[in-house]
A and B are shown apart, each in its own frame.
Chain A
Amino acid sequence: MIRFILRRLAQAVPLLVGVSLIGFGLMHLAPGGPLAIYTLNPSIQVQDIERIKAVFGLDQPVPVQYLKWATGLATGDWGTTFFGGRPVLATILERLPATLLLMGSALAIAILLGLGIGLLGAVRRYSVFDALATSGALFALSFPTFWFGLMAIWIFAIELRWLPSGGMYELGEEGDPLSLLRHLVLPVMVLALVITATWSRYARSAFLEVLGQDFMRTARAKGMPLRARLLRHALPNAAKPLIALLGVELPFLFSGALVTETIFGWPGMGRLFVDALGMKEYPVLMGLMMFTALFVIAGNLIADIAIAAVDPRVRL
């Protein structure tokens, strides 16, 4: 187990190097740069721009810039932002709680709902409920998330005036949990809708496969009631593919939902990424990319360990 984790972490190092190389390269291939906005500004001289470039190290060749950034990261220095000069790691970490709250609530609701809908759809296959759940999931997946977001704002915030349209708190209410909850409802609802749709489909097919197995017939032949058959026999067996899926989705918990956070003005990681992209904040972009890559690796590692815990046939 310890050896397995160490081996996987060792394998992660070249992966991280690869991800950062590609990310860094693509970022610098894109036209413009953090100083592009100054080139059209008549009050700023070309020499000034050159001087700023030199200060940030942007005048050096890209490989040299990469090496400087990478050695910094290896020693725990994630760099500082171009605009404001704040430490990158602190900038990212201060956005983390908002994203964790939003994604955590949405994922928790969506997984529970999705499991329930999928299980019921599999048990009552081809029933009215199953048909409704299937077409409902297709409907939810066919529309872009921003459309649901805008519709939610229009209906619940503008027409009905039940809930705020964006942000985390009303002005002057910072830190008030009730205000936070009211702001949380709409974005969580929109995110959960889409995640529920995918999860109910995955859960349905996972359960359908298990329900057709011989040992489920054995459980019936033992006289076990439906509840026990589903919870004690079907669920642990269906969990394996679903845990693997959760491992893949875990990084989103931390990287945030770009579209939803932007529409609802939610100050999370997704918004930070969009903002950093607009301003070409290279250090922040790279930091976010590494952050996400780390959680992809961690998510899959945790999923593998969890699968070994539920299935005695899997050894690490």
Chain B
Amino acid sequence: MPPAEAAPLLAVRELAVHIPDPPHLLRAVDGISFDLDRGETLGLVGESGSGKTMTAMALMRLLEPPLSRLPTGEVLLDGEDLMRLPEGAMAALRGHRLSMVFQEPMTSLNPVMRIGAQIAEPLRRHLGLFRAEAAARAEEMLRLVGLPDPARQARAWPHELSGGMRQRAMIAIALACRPALLIADEPTTALDVTVQAQILELLRELQRDMGTAVLLITHDLAVVEENAHRVAVMYAGRIVETGPVEAIFTAPRHPYTAGLLASLPRIREEPEPWLPEIPGMVPGAGDRPRGCAFAPRCTRVISGCVAEAPPLLGEPHAAACWNPLHD
């Protein structure tokens, strides 16, 4: 572990993506703030539609026009605000200082380019390596991500690789330039369960060796519990609870987190006849209630909940709730 420094590697402040859709304003991401230290893993958890992927795309500034103009707030990487960088300077950082692994390994690789060439591309672009050096480094990366016979795999086409192998290749691309920050957006969702575990193990290993900070986006709480140091739970575009993994999993304070944890299948002495679920659905980004967005589904709702949205309070374990549990 690198020595602890005062400033975090990544500091996100009031990041918002509000999409105008007259007469509504879709609050896809609604003012979220969090820190990420060097070498740390933050699990960003939430149901589909909670704004996780939109957050990742906004951080990487990968949104396409016209959405690309919408994000507001600050994204400080080593104190530099990515949101204010011109596109050229941002492109120089992408794949170099911060990079991303996507959910769909089957379609995320260019089908008409050899695997080795796709890994070599960022090496040549960001580190200025020549063709031969970049090719050698690409093979080295393939070995690092655990592909057998890297020299042969470097010459392979994407369609010749399985889903798990393609995701390994994607990780090799993302980590080729040893970025300080890796954003992994549901990296194992599209894979078989056994392959999932291998990929997560690989990410942990590489993170330990390279000191990369990881923003692990997933809807799978079990994945977070085993892989993250800290957790941020997103609901309807906001972070409703954040804190160390142990604290959140043993004593969740937000009723939504508690509900998510209760719906996790666990090995118990006396199995319950059915898994509890949270009634209702995530509100659409256009019809958010004025108060707490979770209030309509919450079992602990009190009179204040519908009047005003609760602030995210507490350190290091924070929850945005007027009537939290475990107090």
A217→B102 contact, CB < 8 A: yes
Residue of B nearest to A237 (CB): B112
Q: Which residues of B contact A223 (CB under 8 A)?
A: 91-96, 122, 125-126
B122→A218 contact, CB < 8 A: no
Q: Which residues of B contact A95 (CB under 8 A)?
A: none
Q: Complex Cα distance A69/B95, Å?
A: 67
Q: Complex Cα distance A213/B109, Å?
A: 10
Q: Complex Cα distance A228/B113, Å?
A: 13
Residue of B nearest to A236 (CB): B112
Q: Complex Cα distance A270/B254, Å?
A: 79
Residue of B nearest to A213 (CB): B107
Q: How far is the CB of B182 from chain A (nearest CB, A)?
A: 11
Q: Which residues of A contact B126 (CB under 8 A)?
A: 223
With A217-B62, A217-B102, A312-B157 as known contacts, state yes or no: A222 contacts B125, CB within 8 Å: yes
B112→A312 contact, CB < 8 A: yes
B104→A214 contact, CB < 8 A: yes
Interface size on A, as a range, is 20 to 34
A224→B121 contact, CB < 8 A: yes
Q: Which residues of A contact B91 (CB under 8 A)?
A: 220, 223-225
Q: Which residues of B contact A182 (CB under 8 A)?
A: none
Query: Is B36 in contact with chain A by the CB < 8 A criterion?
Result: no
Q: How far is the CB of A227 from chain B (nearest CB, A)?
A: 11
Q: Complex Cα distance A312/B126, Å?
A: 28
Interface residue from A214, A217, A224, A311 paired with B112 (Cβ < 8 Å): A311
Query: Is B173 in contact with chain A by the CB < 8 A criterion?
Result: yes
Query: Is B60 in contact with chain A by the CB < 8 A criterion?
Result: yes
Interface string of A210-232 (1 = CB under 8 A from B): 00011101111111110010001
B95→A221 contact, CB < 8 A: yes
With A215-B111, A224-B121 as known contacts, state yes or no: A313 contacts B102, CB within 8 Å: no
Residues of B in contact, count (CB < 8 Å): 29
Interface string of A180-200 (1 = CB under 8 A from B): 000000000000000000000
Can you name 28 A-B pairs with beta carbons within 8 Å?
Answer: A213-B107, A215-B110, A219-B121, A221-B95, A221-B99, A221-B100, A221-B102, A222-B95, A222-B125, A223-B93, A223-B95, A223-B96, A224-B121, A224-B122, A225-B88, A225-B91, A228-B125, A233-B110, A233-B113, A237-B110, A237-B111, A310-B112, A311-B111, A311-B112, A312-B111, A312-B112, A312-B159, A313-B157
With A214-B104, A224-B121 as known contacts, state yes or no: A219 contacts B92, CB within 8 Å: no
Query: Is B171 in contact with chain A by the CB < 8 A criterion?
Result: no
Residues of A within 8 A of B (CB): 213-215, 217-225, 228, 232-233, 236-237, 310-313
Q: How far is the CB of B88 from chain A (nearest CB, A)?
A: 8
Residue of A nearest to B91 (CB): A223
Q: How far is the CB of B215 from chain A (nearest CB, A)?
A: 14
Q: Which residues of A contact B110 (CB under 8 A)?
A: 215, 218-219, 233, 237
Among B94, B100, B109, B112, chain A packs the most CB atoms within 10 A around the CB of B112
B109→A220 contact, CB < 8 A: no
Q: Which residues of A contact B113 (CB under 8 A)?
A: 232-233, 236
Q: Complex Cα distance A233/B110, Å?
A: 7
Q: Which residues of A contact B213 (CB under 8 A)?
A: none
Residue of A nearest to B103 (CB): A214
Interface string of B53-89 (1 = CB under 8 A from A): 0000000101000000000000000000000000010
Q: How far is the CB of B279 from chain A (nearest CB, A)?
A: 35
Q: How far is the CB of A92 from chain B (nearest CB, A)?
A: 39
Query: Is B170 in contact with chain A by the CB < 8 A criterion?
Result: yes
Q: Which residues of A contact B92 (CB under 8 A)?
A: 223
B60→A218 contact, CB < 8 A: no
Q: How far is the CB of B41 from chain A (nearest CB, A)?
A: 19
CB contacts under 8 Å to A, within B253-298, are none
8 cross-chain pairs, A with B, having the tightest CB-CB distances, nearest first: A223-B94, A222-B95, A223-B95, A214-B107, A312-B157, A215-B110, A222-B122, A221-B100
Q: How far is the CB of B115 from chain A (nearest CB, A)?
A: 11
Q: Which residues of A contact B95 (CB under 8 A)?
A: 221-224
With A222-B99, A222-B121, A223-B125 as known contacts, state yes or no: A217 contacts B108, CB within 8 Å: yes
Q: Complex Cα distance A215/B121, Å?
A: 13
Q: Complex Cα distance A233/B118, Å?
A: 10
Residue of B nearest to A221 (CB): B100
With A218-B110, A220-B94 as known contacts, state yes or no: A313 contacts B159, CB within 8 Å: yes
Q: Which residues of A contact B93 (CB under 8 A)?
A: 223
Q: Which residues of B contact A233 (CB under 8 A)?
A: 110, 113
Interface residue from A218, A236, A310, A311 paired with B109 (Cβ < 8 Å): A218
Q: Complex Cα distance A224/B92, Å?
A: 8
Q: Which residues of B contact A222 (CB under 8 A)?
A: 94-95, 99, 121-122, 125, 173
Q: Which residues of B contact A214 (CB under 8 A)?
A: 102, 104, 107-108
A218→B170 contact, CB < 8 A: yes
Q: Which residues of A contact B104 (CB under 8 A)?
A: 214
Q: How far is the CB of A305 from chain B (nearest CB, A)?
A: 16
Q: Complex Cα distance A214/B104, Å?
A: 8
Q: Which residues of A contact B125 (CB under 8 A)?
A: 222-225, 228
Residue of B nearest to A313 (CB): B159
